[in-house]
Structure 1
Amino acid sequence: MRSLPPFRSPAGIVLAVVLAVGLAVPSAGRAQQAAAPFDGDLQRLAEILGALHYLRGICGASEGLKWRSEMQALVDAETPGGERRTRMVASFNRGYHDFQQTYRACTPAANLAIRRYLDEGAKISRDLTARYAN
């Protein structure tokens, strides 16, 4: 099995998103506000992180809780509580459980899904950073 490249420095990408989004929205009362314009992208990124957490585990990446930790950092920085946090956590869990129901072992299709999610997650992160960084 061929080793896949890392999430183009996942910690760096998630950190960049957290910083960009954190600078774009004032923090006071942010968790109780209505959805931010970038919430859809953050929820999709959360879903991708959940899928990667499951898929990389069954495909022998030996990353442990890496993807869950990235998600936790994103949630902690962006949504300290409230409905926004609930939606992001639900997205992560949906990404995880959808693949858990489909794949019990690593397959070529699972590896393809990993590659696609790594690319999509990197694109969302770059786009968010470019759009909301000051």
Structure 2
Amino acid sequence: MAQSADVPAAQEPVPETAEKPAPYDDKLARLSEILGAVHYLRNLCNKDGEPGWREAMQALIDAETASEPKRRARMVAAYNRGYRSFASVYTTCTASAVAAEGLYRNEGATLAVEIAARYGN
């Protein structure tokens, strides 16, 4: 029996693209968490705000996870965890907030250099 022209033929399901973790995903997750923390702390202590930290994170997410929604979700979660961890502690800029921001920024810079040197093209 011929199929009717207005009823589409059954299609085979399209397999979900398998996401393969990168060997540096743990370091990238930590870097994402650090960027979230630094974004919160820098904006807390700088009355003019610094949107560059969030923009840098967005560029990193876009570059690393363009077609991998699960990796993207993990990076976003790590960023938000870093942001929220300091938002729950600091509501005003204090000397310890400034010190924490400096420590996190240094750790982030070290991680970024390490990831690029070891895994970059």
The TM-score, its normalising length taken from structure 1, stands at 0.73
**Identity across matched positions, percent:** 48
From 58, 61, 81, the counterpart of 1:72: 58
CA offset at residue 35 of structure 1?
Answer: 1.7
What's the CA shift string for 1:61-98, capped at 9, x where partnerless? 63431111000000000002321000000000000001
- Which residue matches 2:118? 131
Mean Cα deviation higher: 33-42 or 101-110: 33-42
Tell me if 1:35 matches 2:26. no
Return the letter of the residue paired with 1:110.
A
What does residue range 29-108 of structure 1 map to in structure 2 within 5 Å?
A: 32-60=18-46, 62-80=48-66, 81-108=68-95
Is the Cα contact below 8 Å between 2:42 and 2:50 reproduced in 1?
no
Q: Return the alpha-carbon distance in structure 2 between the equivalents of residues 62 and 122 of structure 1.
A: 23
Q: Highest Rg: 1 or 2?
A: 2
Aligned to 2:13: none
Task: In structure 1, list runs of 5 or more residues that go unmatched.
Answer: 1-30
Q: Which residue number in structure 1 is paired with residue 108 of structure 2?
A: 121
RMSD after superposition: 1.4
Normalized per residue, the structure richer in helix is 1
Separation in 1 of the partners of 2:80 and 2:114? 23
Task: List structure 1 runs of 4+ shifted beyond 6 angstroms.
Answer: none
Structure showing greater relative contact order (alpha-carbon pairs closer than 8 Å, 6 or more residues apart): 1
CA contact (8 A) 1:51 1:92 kept: yes
Mapped to 1, the partners of 2:92 and 2:49 lie a distance apart of 16
Distance 2:78 2:18 in 1: 18
Residues matched between the structures, number:
104
Instruction: Provide the residue aligned with 1:8 in structure 2.
Output: none
Question: Which residue number in structure 2 is paired with residue 109 of structure 1?
Answer: 96
For residues 89-113 of structure 1, the C-alpha deviation after alignment (integer angstroms, 9 at most, x for no partner) is 0000000001000000011110111
